[in-house]
A and B are shown apart, each in its own frame.
Chain A
Amino acid sequence: MKRIAVVGAGLAAVSTCDALRTQGYDGELVLFSAEEGLPYDRPPLSKDVLLGKARREDVLLRPADWYEQRGVELWPGAAVTAIHPEQGTVELAGGSAVGAERIVLATGGTPRALPVPGGDDPSVHLLRTWEESERLRERLLPGARVVVVGAGLIGAETAAVAVALGCRVTLVDPVAVPLTAAVGPEIAEVLHRRHAEEGIEVVTGGVERIERAEGSEEVSVHISGRPVPLAADTVVVGIGIRPGTALAEAAGLTVDNGVVVDAAQRTSHPHVFAVGDVARQDGHRRHEHWEAAQQDGEAAAAGLLGKPMPQRPAQWFWSDRHGSRLEAVGSMADAGRTVLRGVPGGGPCTVFGLRGDRLVAAAAIDRVRDIKAARRLIDRGVAVDAARLADETTDLRTLLRG
């Protein structure tokens, strides 16, 4: 292969480049970034960047000199408008074409807009890019009335940051206890209750419309079942993303809630791979987690180079809110029953999800090491004794020894 083109510049893209070099690829490698500047890491955008604690240089995925050292040609501000795998080219805005024998789609996704009247009001912010985070940060002033729509990871983190910055925050979600499916009811309830404890007004309901009186600085956010709308200076919407599948669709690749790939991240066209949020492995759910994006890159590199696939550990994610750290591993949906270690709401706590005598999932608040132990118990398929999991005097490391 003479040249591989990577389209996109998030973690999955950079991970692909890194892994290709680590695995011995010595051809040309071009990274097309639609955004300006050096590629950056997204998790801090709803945490330290929003808090004003991290600058752009603090959140770069790799330092500036890494690209030259690794032989990665970065094209910032180069939006790819079409891919032509048969001809072996990618097309850029302006019409120029660049040759590439293999193409890796790492196009991520775009946040879903609020599909209601007024959902596109200038007061409504989405959060995915550095610029969006910067713009939102300027609005999170002490006393500002902020309505956050969606209490998933991004919404919860943003609400936590806003209240820490002195905003008057309302968090709106149609689900009474969000994240239950991902972390189990015990942890989800503690997490959700914490918002109110930290001074956030929590509203269960759906946004029906957003109205702005002519010339007004504020908007009225109408919620289902509530006669009086919420007055807001700023609205933040965190209700998920749409995978950025446009290039894949136009190229005729198989797309179904993401670009469909095999275990090697190969799409329906043998010369095109897809990684990160945009990709969905056939037979699985599409995942949008940070570590998964990184591992996709490693798998794609192996697939491109015909090397053995790296082992994939149980899926893991984290979220920071109100000074606490949520972590979860595995798939809580697969659990037949749960076991608690610690008291939910009484500080650090872990819930384990079991299927038979095997651990399939765990979620924890401020218990990083429990999750690390759980992940190994899941990956190694160790039979576990529920009573010992629940017993806080048990060193979980000893369970790994069987």
Chain B
Amino acid sequence: MSTTSTGIRVAAEGDIPEGEALAVPAGVTGHTDAIAVFNDEGTYYALDDTCSHGQASLAEGWVEGGEVECPLHSARFCLRTGKPQCMPATDAVRSHRVEVRDGEIFVHPGQEAA
């Protein structure tokens, strides 16, 4: 996996099943948190993996309708913006731009998706 402005390759299309997510460790991306890469009906999104409310991994959450629901306390976040959609979360999680090139999924850590 290589860095640079081309982004970091995190997976190939098909590696992340529909409705699932992959947590990419901070050591791989150089980002402060692990990054969760979600597949919501064929569209890929990336957010900071740690819920802004508890200490859960959003990659373990429920992905549907453009949102991810935290596995621990059911806070929901917009996959595109990282903004909380309901309580108990009140703070957004960071979003990262995702790019699909030639069947490969790239994340740009720190570049906001929206």
Q: Which residues of A contact B (CB under 8 A)?
A: 11, 15, 18-19, 62, 66, 290-291, 294, 297-298, 316, 368-369, 372-373, 376, 397
Complex Cα–Cα for A62 and B92 (A):
14
For chain A, what secondary structure do more than half of its interface residues adopt (helix, strand, loop), or is it mixed? helix
For B64, the chain A residues whose CB sits under 8 A away are 376
Taking a contact as CB atoms under 8 Å apart, the answer to whether B87 and A298 are in contact is: yes
Binary contact track B83-106/A, C-beta < 8 Å → 1, others 0: 000011010000000000000000
Q: How far is the CA of A297 from the CA of B86 in the complex (A)?
A: 12
Q: Which of B62, B74, B88, B90 contacts A369, CB < 8 Å?
A: B62
Residue of B nearest to A58 (CB): B55
- Interface pair B71/A368, CB less than 8 Å apart: yes
Q: Enumerate chain A residues within 8 angstroms of B71, measured Cβ to Cβ.
A: 368-369, 372
Q: In the complex, which residues of chain B have a beta carbon less than 8 angstroms from the beta carbon of A372? A: 62, 69, 71
In the complex, A15 Cα to B87 Cα: how many Å?
8
Give the nearest-CB partner of A41 in chain B. Answer: B88
Give the docked Cα–Cα distance between A368 and B58 (Å). Answer: 12
Residues of chain A with a CB closer than 8 A to B69's CB: 372
Considering the chains assembled together, what is the distance between the CA atoms of A306 and B87 in angstroms?
20
C-alpha spacing A297/B19, complex, angstroms: 31
**In the complex, which residues of chain B have a beta carbon less than 8 angstroms from the beta carbon of A11?**
88
State how many angstroms separate the Cβ of B69 from the closest Cβ of chain A. Answer: 7
B112 interface residue (CB < 8 Å to A): no
Is B62 touching A66 in the complex (CB atoms < 8 A)? Answer: no
Closest to A372 in B: B62
Give CA–CA (A66, B88) in the complex, Å. 13
Known contacts: A316-B74, A368-B71. The answer to whether A18 contacts B60 by CB under 8 A is no
* Residues of B contacting A376 in the complex (Cβ-Cβ under 8 angstroms): 64
- Whole-angstrom distance between the alpha carbons of A362 and B60 in the complex? 19
A105 CB to closest chain B CB (Å) equals: 20
How far in angstroms is the closest Cβ of chain B from A19? 8
Instruction: Establish whether residues B88 and A294, one from each chain, have CB atoms under 8 Å apart when the complex forms.
Output: yes
Q: Which residues of A contact B87 (CB under 8 A)?
A: 15, 18-19, 294, 297-298
B25 to chain A, nearest CB (A): 21
CA A335 to CA B87, docked complex, whole Å: 29
Q: How far is A294 from B89 in the complex, measured between Cα atoms in Å?
A: 11
**Given A291-B74, A368-B71, A397-B19: A62 and B62 interface contact (C-beta under 8 Å):** no
